[in-house]
Structures are given as structure tokens and as C-alpha cells.
Structure 1
Amino acid sequence: MIQKVSAIIVAAGDGTRMGGVSKPLILLNGITVFEHVLQKFIRSKYIDEIVVACKDTAELESIAAKYRESMPITLVQGGATRNESVNKAFCATDKDTRIIVIHDCARPLVLTETINEIIEAAFRSGAATASTPVTDTIKYIDEDKVKTPKRSALKAVQTPQVFNKDVYSVALALAKKNNYIATDDTTLVEKAGFKVTYVDCPVTNIKLTTPSDVVIANTLIGGNL
């Protein structure tokens, strides 16, 4: 059975740590971050539509218009929080969608192969996310208490994150009921009692948070990742 897949691109952040610069419009190798992300998702053999939650729909409309011949792309106004932005985009997805793919626009170096791999994992388990093993020693510091978690048990969670629509709907409803806000969607899904599959992805799937990340991203693109 073919399952309709909708991608949600989260591009509604204020870019505070980027000096107020709009992340989707940052140029990497002469192409905007937003376009890099669109191109990767359009190439996926599974994606049927893209819904973008953005801070300003007008600033991204001209870019989205260039790609609509290849893929249905809808822009929606983001919310005050990441949760609100994702929820608005979720409500704008096709009614027949069965699989939801959520990705931060600030991760423009994601590979189409990674997108496909996470989707395939979610087909099997109902929920899956990109992740990378932690290579640094992590310290948990709480006032005067210091703990060192076992490094082999730690994962850095990234996007894309992919969920069966019914699973994600339950997670959203419970989060709203309990007024719970999370920094990512796997946390919402796990709090709702569902298991998430963690799929290792390339370490090049970095998030653009500060200007130094842009320098790194340009270097990686110049070296063809």
C-alpha cells in the first residue's frame, strides 16, 4: 500500500544567534539555505508535498514558486514557538497524508539518502529520527552535582524526524492537553508512549546556529560533503 508522505520544513525561527539574519536566505555556495533544503526533499522518491512554516511567507514565496512545477509547496505563517509552527504546518498537510516528515530548514546539508532512510525506518516502526553518536565526553552539571553519562548510550538527535500521522496526532493532542513544550518532536512522541527508531546519519548534517556554522557548511559544500 502506497502511503502519502508530507514534509514539514520548519523555517520560522528568529535567527537571534545568527545576528538576526534570516537563516532560510543565507547563501551557501551561492544558493539559499531554503533552496538547498527544497532540492533535497524534492529529490526524495517518497515526498508528495512540502509545507513550510516560515516567519515571513512573503520572503520565501518567490523561491518556492520556482519549485512548484516539481512539487506542491505550501507556505504557512509560523507560530510563537517551534511547537506552534510545526502544528500549523501539520494542519496544512493533505488530508490523505499518512506519514509526516519534519525537518529544520537550518539543516541544509541533509542528504536525500538520509531522508529516504529515515522515512523507510518510520514505515516499519511508526516513528524514526536522524541521530549521530556522541563522540565527546558529556558532563551533567546541576549546581554542585556532576555526573558523567555513559557515552555509548548517548545520541545527538537531529532532523529529519518521521512519524506515522496517527502516532503524531496522538502526541500533539497529549502535549496540548498537558501544556507540554519540547525542543523536538521525538520527545513529544516518546512522552505519548511510542517508541522511536534512531537512525545514524552523517555528521555533516549540521545545524546552522551561529555564523561559524555557515563557514563550516560552506567548507563542507566546497568539498562536496
Structure 2
Amino acid sequence: MQKNAIIVAGGSGTRMQSELPKQFLLLNGKPILMHTLEAFNFDDIEIRLVLPGEQIEYWETLCEEHTFAVPHHIVQGGETRFHSVKNGLDSIKGNAGLVAIHDGVRPLISRDIISASFDQALTHGNAITSVPLKDSLREISSNSNRSVDRSVYRLIQTPQTFQLGLIKEAFETPYQSAFTDDASVFENNGGSIHLIDGDYRNIKITTPEDLLVAESFLAR
């Protein structure tokens, strides 16, 4: 069974208060994105890294500077995350196999979860990583707000892993602003979502505070 991973890294440094795109910021001495690719460096997983065209040359320079040797293909990204993922999917020949789609700035994903996501997607068609909410939750309306039962909600993470032919078919639909992740695209095409357990350490690094938390996790 062919296994693929699409790592999507198209963010800017705006919320990180940095001129450097967040995926290139250093975490324990090397760019965040390198930690992410290392997590997916299995013998049987073919990695595709999707980057904005203007960042590809800089990434290649970083790979030379850090002697980064994890094998991967580079794919040019699109206008939105949806289009970037579609470009990554289109770069994979055929429809056989599985594909995990993952945020480039989630460098602390565990290899056990990656393996589990492929196993579950093989059985159920997809495997969407999620964790329960820890905080209380309130629903806001125009004039009021109310408490809601947090136990019936989940926070969605990546990887989101799919049978390749099914997710390729789903991404043939035109882009919609409601597509906040790959699961929403799959669901829009009639797919039923299969949730698997994620990890609270699998944070998405978007702010300076997130970077401090990630450094703390790695130090432990």
C-alpha cells in the first residue's frame, strides 16, 4: 500500500510578529518545518512539501545550511490552503494508496499517531485527528450568549489521512470559504468523517507563545 504525506506550509509571520514566515523560524536550533518533515520520515511514506513559489529557493538554501537530508518532493502552492492541498494531490500519480495531509507548523506530531492515522484510514476511508476540549464553551449570538456542552465537540488537528482516490475526488469540487480543513472538503463530497485520538502536544505554531510552548515540550 503506497503511503503519501502532503505537508502544507504557506503561512506568513504576521501573527508570529516576524518578517520570516513562521515555518522557517528556529525551534531548538533548526527550522520548524524540518522537525515536521522528520516526523514523517518513514521508509514507506513519500513526502511532498507544498510551499509558495517565492519561498522554494529559500527553503532549498536552508536545507543546505542545515544539511537536511529527509527525502521529499517540493510542490508549488496555490492561492489558498485548499488550492495548495489540491496541487499536492495532483502531483501524486494514480488513485491507489493513502495520503496524510498535515500542517507544516505542527512539528510535534508523534510517529505513533501518524502510523495510527494510516491504519485507520485504510479501514474507514479516512482518519481525522482530534482532541476533546478542556475549556468551557459558550455560543455567541447577536444579543446574548449561552453555555454549551463541550463534551459533544472536538478540536480538530492534523494529520488528516484519507484513501487517496476518495480525497482526490473530493478536491475536484470548486473552492468554498467554508472549507477550513481537508475533512470539510471530504464531508462536502458526501464522506463520513472518522475521528481518531490526537495529542494536546500537537500544537499549531502561530504565535510567539506557541513557539515557547513547543520549545518547552521538546526540552521535556
TM-score over 0.5 for the pair: yes
Is the 1:41–1:115 contact (alpha carbons within 8 Å) kept by the matching residues of 2? yes
Is the 1:24–1:106 contact (alpha carbons within 8 Å) kept by the matching residues of 2? yes
TM-score scaled to structure 1, two decimals? 0.88
* Uncovered stretches (5+) of structure 2, i.e. residues with no partner: none
Is the 2:129–2:156 contact (alpha carbons within 8 Å) kept by the matching residues of 1? yes
1:168 correspondence with 2:167: yes
Q: Which residue of 2 aligns with 1:211?
A: 208
**Shift in Å, 1:128:** 0.8
SS in 1 for 2:172: helix
Is the 2:6–2:50 contact (alpha carbons within 8 Å) kept by the matching residues of 1? yes
Is the 1:101–1:163 contact (alpha carbons within 8 Å) kept by the matching residues of 2? yes
Within 2, Cα distance between the matches of 1:139 and 1:212?
Answer: 24
**Shift in Å, 1:15:** 2.7
Within 2, Cα distance between the matches of 1:139 and 1:8?
Answer: 34
Task: Give the superposed CA RMSD.
Answer: 1.8
Q: Deviations over 1:127-172 (max 9, x none)?
A: 1111110111111212114243321111000000001112112211
The 5 A counterparts of 1:181-200 are 181=177, 182-200=179-197
1:221 correspondence with 2:218: yes
TM-score scaled to structure 2, two decimals? 0.90
Letter in 2 for 1:131: S
SS in 1 for 2:169: helix
Name which of structure 1's ranges 214-223 and 8-17 shifts more when overlaid on structure 2.
8-17
Q: Which residue of 2 aligns with 1:117?
A: 116
**Shift in Å, 1:190:** 1.1
**Shift in Å, 1:109:** 0.5
Q: Which residue of 2 aligns with 1:17?
A: 15
Q: Which residue of 1 aligns with 2:94?
A: 95
Within 1, Cα distance between the matches of 2:44 and 2:190?
Answer: 27
Is the 1:61–1:75 contact (alpha carbons within 8 Å) kept by the matching residues of 2? no
Within 1, Cα distance between the matches of 2:95 and 2:32?
Answer: 29
1:180 correspondence with 2:176: yes
**Counterparts in 2 of 1:148 and 1:45: CA distance versus 1, 3 Å:** farther
Is the 1:204–1:220 contact (alpha carbons within 8 Å) kept by the matching residues of 2? yes
Is the 1:171–1:191 contact (alpha carbons within 8 Å) kept by the matching residues of 2? yes
Letter in 1 for 2:131: T
Is the 2:3–2:99 contact (alpha carbons within 8 Å) kept by the matching residues of 1? yes
Percent identical: 31
SS in 2 for 1:199: strand
1:105 correspondence with 2:101: no
The 5 A counterparts of 1:108-147 are 108-147=107-146
Within 1, Cα distance between the matches of 2:78 and 2:23?
Answer: 16
**Counterparts in 2 of 1:36 and 1:17: CA distance versus 1, 3 Å:** same
Is the 1:7–1:103 contact (alpha carbons within 8 Å) kept by the matching residues of 2? yes
* Uncovered stretches (5+) of structure 1, i.e. residues with no partner: none
Q: Which residue of 1 aligns with 2:85?
A: 86
**Shift in Å, 1:63:** 4.7
Is the 1:6–1:94 contact (alpha carbons within 8 Å) kept by the matching residues of 2? no
